[in-house]
Amino acid sequence: MIPARSSSAPAIGLFGGTFDPVHFGHLRLATELSEAFRLERTIFLPAGLPYHRGRTAHASSEERLTMLKLATARDARFDVDDRELKREGRTFTYDTLAEIRAERGPDATLVFLVGSDAFAHIDTWHRWTELFDLAHFAVAIRGDDAQWATKGPGAFPREAWPRITLNLREMLSAPAGKVMTFAMTPLAISSTTLRALAGEGSSIRYLTPEPVVEYIRSRQLYTAKDAPRDALPGAAG
């Protein structure tokens, strides 16, 4: 049971993803959720071995990290934390949240940021019901999420429904345990699209910050001769 508190400390946002590569959809999600949930800082957490994905990454961990740093450098509210990239073996969000909870203490308000498409499958994540003991979930409704368009919160696992709240005060007065949705500016951009455009030699300008565009171009990432660098086995994560 999570104790309620009378005064709320500044909340910290945690944003996990593959970021292969980072794009403006990610940056708008982080910006809009940071403002809506009054987050003091938002920490981007690039995934090491994204076990819930059955595919290979097309950029190395180091390249994904560099692109994230380039994309977030100008925003003082954003940080990048590379702990998942340094971890040996499987990467589980549960382990990352447990570590951050231990570092920040039981009273810190932690808010995990996630897109609605990802939250719809949260029941495939390792120890998923225990994630709510560690953090709140701020769920951004993606403009390109067809499942949400037809089902709304019915797209989310049933066990998560009782945790959904409309009350921001209630949410931020506890350190963890609630789920709140937010309709963000629809941006139907995905890393898949950027990889495909770069792969066919088309421009990716205005889909991601210019330093990232330059980095991808200079390294010729995602082009046919750019072989996958990390072999990522698929499973739930």
> Which residues of the chain form contacts with ligand ATP (CB under 6 A)?
17-20, 25-26, 29, 114-115, 117-118, 140, 142, 187, 189-192
Angle between helices 24-36 and 61-72 (to 10 degrees): 50
Q: Are strands 110-115 and 39-46 parallel, antiparallel or unpaired?
A: unpaired
Are 101 and 110 in contact, with CB atoms under 8 Å apart? yes
User: Smallest gap, in angstroms, from Cβ of residue 167 to ligand ATP?
Assistant: 23
The smaller minimum CB distance to ligand ATP, of residues 2 and 229, is found at 229
Q: How far is the CB of 78 from ligand ATP (least distance, A)?
A: 14
Closest-approach residue to ligand ATP (CB)? 115
State the nearest-atom distance from the C-beta of 51 to ligand ATP, in Å. Answer: 13
**Cβ-based nearer residue to ligand ATP, 2 or 118:** 118
User: Closer to ligand ATP at the Cβ: 190 or 223?
Assistant: 190
Closest to ligand ATP by CB, 8 vs 31, is 31
Residues 6+ apart with CB under 8 A from 162: none
Q: How far is Cα 117 from Cα 161, in angstroms, rounded to an integer? A: 16
Report, in Å, the least distance between residue 187 CB and ligand ATP.
5
- Which spans in the chain are helix H? 24-36, 61-72, 83-86, 93-104, 116-119, 131-134, 146-151, 168-172, 191-199, 210-219
Least distance between ligand ATP and beta carbon 143 (Å): 7
CB count within 10 Å of CB 192 equals 11
Q: By C-beta, is 54 or 106 nearer to ligand ATP?
A: 54
